[in-house]
Amino acid sequence: MKTVIIGGVAGGATAAARLRRLDESAEIVMIERGEHISFANCGLPYYIGGTIKKKSALTLETPESFNLRYNVDVRNLSEAVSIDPTGKTVTIHELKSGRIYQEGYDNLIISTGAQPIKPPIPGVDSDKVFTLRNIPDTYRIKEFIQTAAPKSCVVAGGGYIGVEMAENLANAGHEVTIVELADHLIAPLDSEMAAEVHLYLRKKGITVILNNGVRAIADNGSSLDVTLDNGKVLCDMIILSVGVRPDTELAKKAGIPCNERGAILVNERMETQIPDIYAVGDAVEVTDFVTGNKTMIPLAGPANKQGRIAADNICGYPSVYTGTQGSAILKIFEMTVASTGINERTACAAGIDYDKIYIYSPSHATYYPGATMMSVKVLFERKTGRILGAQIVGFEGVDKRCDLLAAVIRLKGTAYDLTKLELCYAPPFGSAKDPVNIAGFVIENILTGKVKNFHWQDIQALPEDGSVTLLDVRTPEEVALGAIDRFVNIPLDSLRQRISELDRSKPVYVHCHSGQRSYIACRILAGHGFKAYNLSGGYRLYRLMAKEERIPLPFCQACKNSISR
């Protein structure tokens, strides 16, 4: 059996290694047009910023070491230029010698990945404008920084790579501006969670420009004049990080079916619609694990799994890919941002009847020194309590909480499962009631009718005709630092004594700083015959969004607030 693999890195290299482990006698040929077959592409920004010092640290395997360990015929600096599915051959161009030849196969794996989008705008081809996909791109950026000594940089695009580049350029001493076309950075986050990131980045000295895109670049020799949709920015270099598209021209020319965005169509066995041709990694369309809809999610973890699954099936071991849930994490200076599952935009588009909760929890027991706070948002299915997605922004302990929630989502678990998790506890590491447990308790209270929530988007729509009571249960000292209009203040610890001041015939909408004290207030009110609603996320979240100047009404039927339920 002979398998030809086009492309290395996560998907292709994993497939090659798995094939060899399963079949010592297989003939395996890996074709890679670049010099490097397996490199740490997620580590590239950190080499540019100086955190990773040595070039060699980026190279996970060389062609020689890979061949020695796995007996794979590695042909780097060789480009596959065409595929003949009928004759089962690949035409290959040796980039150094210019030789063109054909290689036959029994099975073919396409792992060509994705390429950075380079928008067709004036000036985009300036030698001061860069994209980051591979090691040569990294070296070009690093060399430019070392030789031209740029003082200022614009990062066009605020996704994971864009924000990582902004951090590393700032750490290297550059003035950095992020320009993002959308209304918030890091697309998998919802806007209120991204607002935490915006605030932090600005505190770190990075300029964040939202709802704006780069429209033209003028190289005046010493610097770049960058024209935006609204305004201009002057800088010394630009990193384009506006997204990626599947690198699938080779597949398209061979007649391999792709979707409208160019991603190769595959089944759960990673087979294309052409016999004996498989495809893996960023080049393929995947199934969203939560919604069941087709999508594209370019991440290294799924690419590795898909390479392994393709190899299993080639070797006769039935294996299926069950979908991508988009688990991802990002370091921004000392901050950690993580997400898994779907966000509100995806839930709305899929027509899912969902709700959401926000909690603000410490990373470990607060009496042990060094605890930091985490903002946690969890989406759940309203009818079943099934966990649909989670987003966490904080400093310590974000990764393990998001990993826990990712595992529960993969197991199709519910909020009730979160309440039952028995997690490791000692004061330096967590609390007896972990934030993941707390999230489960909060959702369980909603599902069982113990409390009804309303959200920051709902506040503008609260009636002004006196038909409802708006109650702030924070302390007077807190209220003096800022309050929401129309909310009257009765501190929680005075509520029982002053409850006669409230009208039982009116619904009461309650808030505190984070939602915890107002939940207690709601239970007190319910015990005295009131119908009460708790502001999830509290004043803290509302104030954050007010600073972002984003207090819209609910934006779709699925998100309609508690007032209408």
DSSP, res 324: B
In the chain, helix, strand, coil percent, each to 5?
Answer: 35, 25, 40
d(CA 74, CA 68): 10
Q: Angle 337-226-220 (CA atoms, 0-180°, nearest 5)?
A: 135
Q: Buried b / exposed e across 217-236, counting CB within 10 Å, b at 16+? A: beeeeebbebbbeeeebebb
Phi–psi pair at 224, nearest 5 degrees: -120, 130
Q: Are 60 and 39 in contact (CB under 8 A)?
A: yes
Question: What sign has the CA pseudo-torsion 539, 544, 546, 550?
Answer: negative
Q: Are 343 and 356 in contact (CB under 8 A)?
A: no
> Residue 181 forms beta bridges with which residues?
none
User: Reduced to 3 states, what is the DSSP secondary structure of residue 54?
Assistant: coil
Residues with Cβ within 8 Å of 519's Cβ and at least 6 positions away in sequence, in order, are 442, 445, 451, 534
Catalytic residue among 42, 153, 235, 348: 42
Residues with Cβ within 8 Å of 137's Cβ and at least 6 positions away in sequence, in order, are 44, 130, 131
The kind and range of the H/E element at 108 are strand 107-110
Residue whose entry in the numeric block shows the structure tokens 């704006």: 212
| Other beta carbons less than 10 A from residue 543's beta carbon | 16
Closest CA to 217 of 179, 163, 169, 186: 179
Residues with Cβ within 8 Å of 494's Cβ and at least 6 positions away in sequence, in order, are none
Is 42 a known active-site residue? yes
Tally of CA atoms within 13 A in the half-sphere of 215 that contains its CB: 8
d(CA 128, CA 132): 13
Residues with Cβ within 8 Å of 222's Cβ and at least 6 positions away in sequence, in order, are none
Q: Are 264 and 299 in contact (CB under 8 A)?
A: no
Starting from the edge strand earliest in sequence, which strands make up the sheet with 175-179, in order? 129-131, 237-240, 152-156, 175-179, 207-209
CA 400 to chain centre: 16
d(CA 13, CA 19): 10
d(CA 201, CA 197): 6
> Residue 90 forms beta bridges with which residues?
83, 103
Q: Looking at the annotation, which residues are catalytic?
A: 42
